[in-house]
Every structure is written in structure tokens, then in C-alpha cells.
Structure 1
Amino acid sequence: MSAGLLASDVPLAQAYDLALVDLDGVAYTGHLPIEHAASSLEAARARGMRLLFVTNNASREPEDVAAQLSGLDIPAGAEDVMTAAQACAALLRTRLAAGATVLVIGGHGLVTAVEQAGLTVVPSADDAPDAVAQGYSPDLGWKDLAEAAYAVAGGAWHVASNRDLSLPTARGFAPGNGALVAAVVAATGVEPDSAGKPEPTMYRLAVERHGGERPLVVGDRLDTDLAGARSGGYAGLHVLTGVSSARDAVLAGPGLRPHFLGADLRSLLVPHPAPVAAAEGWWECGDRAARVVDGTLELDREGPAGIDVIRAACAAAWDAADGGAGPAASTVPELTA
């Protein structure tokens, strides 16, 4: 698949049959709705696109996630949700037989997923567990992390549901599961395997569940959602309603780059032009253009950015970076759609 932006002459909801939609920063922020999310997803469904909500959160049950979505006017059932807990349990079963013992450090969602996978949950490192499954829970404390460290140091296989360093909340960004996993790594020196994004495990399981032939990843984080799309060979739409900004996209390395860019989920409902190379190093998209000259990103004119100039800036910056002369970060302004 192309390392740059792709073009779609028809709305993405028509070009792709299954959307693998992230939650925080895409469908909602904390417990608050994101503007246009519910109406856009409803319109995408009306055009034939199936939705599966894929989250790195391993602390909640799929039923609870579905209930929250439904309460925000995004109808969903448990079968429409794929959590990092489910992916973690599936990864555990690639090496562990049914009945193997697992110390779960995390919330109820991870406990349920591990048990449903046919594994036996044990409460202590003293039980000599075969593995440690670690996921986020706001109730985790030092004793839980210490128990995980004791088990891993004793030879248990350490599997993290995800390694997100931060977690978006209504009050800002808080430490995520990756920060808690790092504490166990610091104590043991053992790097865990990870089931969540950016590993493509969740996306693969999601596609297998729904049988999509043309899946599209939709996310707000380049380092998880879109990196997972790239690593799994899936097309990815980056919406600018969450963690990663347009400037982040312009400066992204090859493994983090989206295939499509949109201000919000309304971008599922419109065609997407791709930037084209023009004279004197300019990259054009719509009526806007950008180029890189001597390590400096240049835009065709001042004024509001808009999504087309962001697309052009990405194309110019990525082309220059891949040629060994990308723009200096200090020359890339904040761009808003």
C-alpha cells in the first residue's frame, strides 16, 4: 500500500465496507460526545459501512462500552466492540493451552476476556502463573504492580493489553497502561509482548469477526491507531479530534502516516483528493499547495489552513523526508482543519 496519502473518488463510507473505529478521541472524549460523531457514523451505516469499535482500553466489558456508545446516540451492541482485553486473551492462547494459569493485573474486562478464552485466573505470584496479563484500571496500585513484577521475575510470560503511555480524560491526559507496564519493566528488565495497537492483532481479529473485505481503520493517534493500520496493511483515516494533530501528521515517519486525513468523522461521507506533484517542488491539493525548500515547509499563502493545505503539507513533507531532506520541525506551524 502507498506510503503517502490515497485518493478516493467516492465517500470513504462507500469505498470501504468495514470501519474499525477507535473510541477515545474519535467517537467521544472521556464521557463527552464529539461533535458530528453520532450523525456521521449513522450516515456511514446508512451507506452500507459496517462499524466495529476497536479500543485499547482493556478495563471495561464490551457490554459497558456498547452501552456508553448507545447513550451517546451511537447504537451498538457488545458484538460491535473489540477490546484490547479480548486481543490480549487471544494472544495468550497462542502459547498457552486451555486451563493454563494467568495472573491478571487490570480491570474486570480483562478478567472476563481471559476466563472466556479458557484460561484460569489466579490471584498471586505465589501461584506460579504461566503468564501475567496486564491492562489498565484506575484502581491499580503499587501492590498490583509489585505482584506482576514478582511473577514476571519468576518466569511468567508478560503480556500487556497495550502500551499507551497516556490516556485522554475529560480533565486532560493521564498515565496510560504503558506507563504502568513501564514500572514492571523497570523492576524486572523484561520487555512484554503487547496485544493492543499499534500491534495489528486487534484489527486482524476484528476483520475476522466481521468478514470485511475492504476495512478502514479510523483513529486519532498516529502512534497507535494509524501505526497499527500501517503495520497490518490496512488503510487508515486520521481524524483531528483527539491526540495527534495535523502538525504531528506532517512530521510523521513512514510507519505512522495515515492514508486519509479528515477534520472529524464527517470525512467518512466525502471523497478524498490526493495531493499531486507540481512545478518548482509544490504539492497541490484542491486550491492549496505546499513545498519544502532548504528544510523549511512553505505554504502557498497565509490564512486559515483547511484540510486541503494539510494534505498538501503532508505530501510535501513526506516526499522531502523520504528523500533525506525533510522539513525542520520548527518550520512546521500548527495547522487546523
Structure 2
Amino acid sequence: MSGTPTPLAVGKVRPPHQEYDVALLDLDGVVYVGPEAVPGVPEALAAVRAAGMRLGFVTNNASRTPEEVAGHLTVLGVPASPAEVITSSQAAATVVAQRLGAGARVLPVGGPGVAAALEAAGLTLVAGAEEEPLAVVQGYGRDVGWTQLAEAVVAVRNGAQHVATNADATIPSPRGLLPGNGALVGVVSAVTGRRPLVTGKPDPTMHAECVRRTAAHRPVVVGDRLDTDVEGGRRAGAATLLVLSGVTDPATLLAAGPDRRPDLLAPDAAGLLTAHPAVVAAGDGRWRCAGWTARSADGVLRLRRDSAEGPGSADGLDGLRALCVAHWTRHPEAVAPAEVTAEDEAAADALRHWGLAS
């Protein structure tokens, strides 16, 4: 780590909306899950805006146009304009137009957002492999089926470049995780034997474009995925806030590699409005966050509640913050699954709540 502070260790005395000028928000699992808003998030984002923080919306979901995304957000109580929305379809269209030139023939596979972005970039859409496209751009679409995948396979096998808007294997839904674009991209890759060019997060292009549009000086990326939002934010040079309202659970967070460790942690995007306590060294390999202490010994993480230290933050994640820093400090450059045990009943309750109890 060469002197770089361990993520989550620094914390923020002031709430993030006072520390950063723009929040670059992922959508699925952050602002909404399926068609519904995450409870309390529209109100929190309204308060963030009222305090002077600007918002940008950066989504790997390629199925809808920016106009459709902005309309959906507005209906959910998060007013947005199309200019504030960056989709992975737009990123893919920009890359393809730069590589192949205006007017190049492209086969779109996915929802309406894919075709709309390609057209807006000045590319020529084709309906099938027999029209000899120079590229296949594949993004998420709920109606993508065997016929579209078969056309993509034939086109790629005939020499078209395979471009994926994103490689998210899953998407959150009220029914649990469902197949994402990455799962269907994997079908085409498995049949053709060719790996796609992936243009969405964690590639920094999308966040960089949103920074440009919002003129951000100190952005913070808010997301629910380690492999796209957190890694993408770090690659773009932005601070990151992981929320637990979507895909990532505490066990996955603890096992995260060095490129996927967030700077801040919150239950949901309302964490933009609250201070984030630091995790401090307490000697003998112990790390303390508010009223919780964690230590890594003999390959096991141990957590205890120090009641004398006060109630801690209201979000109930101080113990998890301490566990993360203790584990990541022990494994600064490696992905390492964690075995966790409790040293008192309060810690045992917390571990059960986070799904970390053995």
C-alpha cells in the first residue's frame, strides 16, 4: 500500500455532501431496485441537492435511452434531465464511432437504448449478420432472445468486432438477483471463442464524461457494485461510497481486492447526508470504529462491542467498518475471504444481521 491509507480508515467528520461537489450515482441498486425507488433515497437526494451538491446518473444498464431514464427518475421523485444521465450504450457508441468512423454498419443487440445511442453517434444500424456489420454492440434488454444472440454469433464469427456495453453478470430486482448483460455476453463469447471489448464501468470513460458534464472538482461515486462502481470510481480518480441496498453484501465486501475497496460505506444513498466515522489503530493489531473493535489473529477476524465507547453512528455499520480495515490491513494486496467470529453477544447479533455468522 506504500503509505496509502487503507480504504474506510480515514472516514469523514463532515457528511459527504459537504466534502464533495458532485455525486455520480449508479441507478440499479442505488436509486431504485426494479421499478421502485429504494426507500428514503428520493428524499435524501432532494436534501443533498438542497444543500448544494449536484447529481449525475451513471448506469451500466444499456436498455433505455437517457430520456427514458430521466423520466423514470422524475416519476420516482428524483427530478433529472437527460443531460445528467450517462448510459453504457452511449459509452459504447462513442468508442465504436471513434474506432470505425461515422456511418459504419453496426448490429445492435439489446434494448431500445442501444440502438438509440448508436444512431445518435452517427452509426448505421443493420438488422442481421447478412448485412456484414463491422461491429456488434450488445447491451442489456429484457426481450433479448435466441434470435438476436444467434445473429450476433454469426456476425462476430464473420469478423465483426464484439463490443459489450457492460459485463455485469447480474442485476438486482425485488425477486433477487437476475441475469444481467454479462450473462448474455458470455453466451456469444462462449460460442465464438472471442472476448468482447467492454466499454462500460469499470472503464473510467463513463465517470469521466459525467465529471466533464457536471464540471465536478471533487466527485464521489456512489454505487452498489465493487467490480463496476468502486473499481470504476478508483480508476477515474474519484472517491467512492458503497451502499448495501443492491448487489454487494458484507461477506463480498470483506473479501474485496485492493482495487475494489470503497472509501466510504453506508446502508443506502442517504449516507451522503451523514458523517462517516474513521477506523483507528488501537494497538496490538486492533482497529476501532466508534464503539467496536476488530482484530485479525491466526487467520480469524474477531469482533467485539466496547459499550463504554458510546453508541457509534446511527447506520449500524461501525463494526463492519472495523472488520474491513482489520482484514484489509492484514491483506493489503490480496483478495482474501474472511472467517469472522464474535467475542460478545452484541458482536454475535451484528454478525448474524450482516450474514457473517458461521
Find out whether 1:311 has 2:321 as its counterpart: yes
Match of 1:177 among 181, 191, 198: 181
Alpha-carbon contact 2:254-2:338 (below 8 Å) kept: no
1:55 aligns with 2:59: yes
Cα deviation 1:127-171 (Å, max 9, x = unaligned): 111111001111111111111111111111111010111112222
1:288 aligns with 2:298: no
Letter in 1 for 2:223: G
C-alpha distance after superposition, 1:187-227 (max 9, x if no partner):
11110111111222211111112111111100111122112
Deviation of 1:328 after TM superposition, in Å, equals 3.6
1:290, distance to aligned residue in structure 2 (A): 0.6
Q: Is 2:331 the partner of 1:321?
A: yes
Are 1:90 and 2:90 counterparts?
no
- Normalised by the length of structure 2, the TM-score is 0.89
**1:4 counterpart residue number:** 7
The match for 2:256 is 252
Query: 1:213-228 residue pairs with structure 2 within 5 A?
Result: 213-228=217-232
Q: Secondary structure at the match of 2:246?
A: coil
In structure 2, what is the Cα distance between the partners aligned to 1:184 and 1:326? Answer: 31
2:40 corresponds to 1:41: no
Pick aligned residue for 1:236 from 231, 235, 240: 240
Q: Distance in 1 between matches of 2:338 and 2:250?
A: 15
Once the two structures are superposed, residues 274-307 of structure 1 have per-residue CA deviations (whole angstroms, 9 ceiling, x without a partner) of 2111112110111211111111010023999921
Moved more, 322-331 or 191-200: 322-331
**Corresponding residue number in structure 1 for 2:200:** 196
Residue 329 of structure 2 aligns with an amino acid whose one-letter code is: D
| Aligned counterparts, 1:28-177, within 5 A | 28-177=32-181
Return the letter of the residue paired with 1:126.
Answer: E
Q: CA deviation at 1:327?
A: 6.2
CA RMSD of aligned residues (A): 2.2
Q: Distance in 2 between matches of 1:330 and 1:120?
A: 55
Q: Do the aligned partners of 1:132 and 1:148 also contact (CA within 8 Å) in 2? A: yes
Take 1:195 and 1:17, find their aligned partners in 2: how far apart are those partners?
Answer: 26
Distance 1:55 1:327, change over 3 A: closer
CA distance in structure 1 between the partners assigned to 2:282 and 2:333 by the alignment: 17
Identify if the C-alpha distance between structure 1 residues 327 and 62 changes in structure 2 by more than 3 Å, giving closer, same or farther: closer
Q: Which amino acid aligns with 2:92?
A: C
Aligned-residue sequence identity (percent) comes to 48
Q: Which of 262-271 and 155-164 deviates more?
A: 262-271
In 2, distance between residues paired with 1:3 and 1:203? 23
Contact 2:6/2:325, CA 8 A, preserved across alignment = no
2:274 pairs, out of 252, 270, 283, with 270
Aligned length: 337
Q: Give me the whole-angstrom Cα distance separating, in 1, the residues matched to 2:334 and 2:126.
A: 52
**Separation of aligned partners in 1, 2:334 and 2:128:** 51
- Give distance in 2, aligned partners of 1:324 and 1:66: 39
Q: Counterparts of 1:156 and 1:325 in 2: how far apart (Å)?
A: 36
Where does the alignment leave 5 or more consecutive residues of structure 2 unmatched? 343-350
Where do 5+ consecutive residues of structure 1 fail to align? none
TM-score, normalized by length of structure 1?
Answer: 0.94
Is structure 2 residue 224 aligned with structure 1 residue 208? no
Q: Secondary structure at the match of 1:258?
A: coil
Change (3 A) 1:47 1:108: same
Letter in 2 for 1:318: W
